Structure formats: structure tokens, C-alpha cells
Amino acid sequence: MSDFIKACRGEPVERTPVWFMRQAGRSLPEYRRIRAGIPMLESCRRPELVCEITLQPVRRHGVDAAILFSDIVVPLVAAGVGVDIVAGTGPVVASPIRDLSGVAAVPPLAPEQVSYVDEAVRLLVKELGATPLIGFAGAPFTLASYLIEGGPSRHHEKTKALMYGQPATWHALCERLAGITSTFLGVQIRAGVSAVQLFDSWAGALSEADYRTYVLPHSKRIFESLVAAPSLRAGRSESLVAAPSLRAGRSESIEGVPSIHFGVGTAQLLTAMGDAGPDVVGVDWRTPLDAAAALVGGRPVQGNLDPCVLFAPWEVIEREVRRIVAEGKAAPGHIFNLGHGVMPETDPQVLTRVVELVHSL
């Protein structure tokens, strides 16, 4: 069993596992070359391209896990929601949701609508061997914010106005999105991912009381759906029979697929995010890991180097890495990561050195 999976379960590891959010992306020149001229959503629909992009940081950095190259709006687009990813802006929604009629226009997701994700995961599992593959999806609050605001927002004013003013509409939307996300993660699990991460990028805009009232029930539903995921794999057992050596390298799936929950600016929400039911809670750079460990209900933690530290002199980076590894020992398990995603201007050689340093500790 890999150190990454052991850490997710709070079991002893030989060395602290490390991977980086957005490790497969714009910081790599090979990524920029292979993506040249191909829109983001189209890139996510090409299994061979997804496979190659996902593998690039594993080859270059020697990280302990790969994360599927995709985007949180992929399942929405696949279901039929009018969303596009505009360069320099992010997701842009054609018809923002304002009422229950808008919620009714959001279709459920059928697994066959993301068959290209299933194919990409299967290709990756074969290529990665014993290296775990992390699947991921967006959490209901963050997806709802995009759909209500019509795109990225700093203050989420339209989102909160609907959440407070039309609670029935809000919960209906989040219930629909939780179903889409559960289906999307189920496809990835059946195809063979070793773990999944639920991103709630914008949840930090909420108080704990609001999170518990308006968000936690829907995120909890998603994590509860993952409990049944290993049994879902039984329906796809023919793929494992066809690849016995692959199954031997993935024995940890028999015991279930660990889940990670991550958001930005969520210091006030860490306990509540743990209560949603993940196996691991991701922590951004604002909260020391030893403090976070005391808040997440005895769960392993993931994080949490400030991505901006990677632009500092190496002696600063080394000091911060050592501090985070030491603080992570307060939790039953620690997966080293950044406190958010890799920035496009990051020097890839620095990332490789960070991986080597973490492994040496």
C-alpha cells in the first residue's frame, strides 16, 4: 500500500507523502506545449491528453500521487448546463440561476455523459501502476456560487442573497449539485481512482453557522455516497479481471477510497468541514497544521505551504517545509501539499526540490 493511502488512513508511513494541487498545469513548459491551441474544456474531453497531462508532474517531480487533470465545471457542462471557461476569467455561466425555475433547468448527470473521464482514469491507472491517482470534484457551495453569480466573484453577494432570501431555492440547487457531484465521483471511483478530493474553493466566505446550515448537509451527502463506492466497483469487476496485475497494485481499493475535503480561507470551518465526513481535511496556509489537527476530529491533515513561499530564496523554502512537516506530526497522518494550487510562474525545479526535501525528512 502506498504511503499516500496509509497517510489518508492515519497509518504509519515510511516517508511523508507529497503532491501539489494544480501540479498538472501551467507551471510546466511541457503542459503549455501540449495544451497550445486547445481550449480547457476540450482538453478535459480527450482521454489521451488528460492521461499525458496528469502524468507530467509524476515524471518530473516524483510526487507520491497524481491528480486527474480536469475542472470542477466538467460535470456541469456534461450534464447540459451552459458554462464555458474563458481564458483569464474562469467559468462563465450563460444563464445565471435566480429562482426555482433556474434550478429546475439544471439536469442530473448520467454516468455515460462523462465516459471520457472513465476512459482517462482507466488509461492512467494502467500507466501509474502503484502510484495512486486522485479524482476530484467541486463541492455544492462553490458550484452554486458560479451558477448564481454567473462567474467568479470576490464577495459572493448574489449567492448569499439567494441563500439567505430564498433558502428553499438554495437547498434545492445544492441538492441537485450534490447529486451531480456524487455521480461524477462515482464514475471516477468505478474507473479506478485511489482517492478523491472535494474542493470547496469559496466556502471560506461563510461563517461556521452559515456553513453548517446551508452547506454541510449537502457536502455530507456526497461523502456518505462515497461509502458505497467500493461496492459500486463490483459492478465493473470485469475490468479488474482483464488486468490482474493492475488489481494487485491497487489492493487498497478493497478497503475503500479515502476522501479529502479542501477549501481556501476556511480556518473558521475546519471542524465543520471535518464533520461533513471526509477522511482527510485539507488546510490552507493560514492555519498551522498542529492547530488544525486539534480541530478536525482526529483526522489526518493535508497541507499547507503557502504557494508564494516557492518564490522565496531556497533557505526560506527549506525552513518552511521543515516547519510544516514537524507540525504535521500532530495529526494521525499528514500529506504534504501547498495551502492552495501551484501558481503558473512557479519554477518547476523548486517543486522537485521540495519533494526531495520532504522525502528526506
Name the helix (H) or strand (E) containing 303.
strand 301-305
Q: 3, 71, 200, 279: which one is catalytic?
A: 71
Q: Check if 15 is active-site.
A: no
Q: 3, 9, 35, 45: which one is catalytic?
A: 35
Q: 26, 46, 236, 286: which one is catalytic?
A: 26
Q: Check if 35 is active-site.
A: yes
Nearest by Cα to 342 from 20, 104, 71: 20
Residue 287 main-chain phi, psi, to 5 deg: -120, 120
Burial degree of 97 (CB within 10 A; 0-12, 13-18, 19+): buried
Reduced 3-state DSSP string for 15-31 = CCCECCCCCCCCCCHHH
Q: Check if 236 is active-site.
A: no
Q: Check if 26 is active-site.
A: yes
Name the helix (H) or strand (E) containing 281.
strand 280-282
CA distances from 338 to 15, 22, 247 (A): 17, 10, 31
Nearest by Cα to 44 from 88, 91, 89, 5: 91
Report CA torsion sign: 22, 26, 32, 35. positive
Cis peptide, bond prior to residue 337, ω within 30 of zero: no
Q: Check if 116 is active-site.
A: no
Tell me how far apart the alpha carbons of residues 159 and 149 are, in angstroms, rounded to a whole number: 6
Q: 146, 176, 190, 279: which one is catalytic?
A: 146
Q: 9, 22, 60, 122: which one is catalytic?
A: 22
Report CA torsion sign: 101, 103, 106, 110. negative
Q: Which residues are catalytic?
A: 22, 26, 35, 71, 146
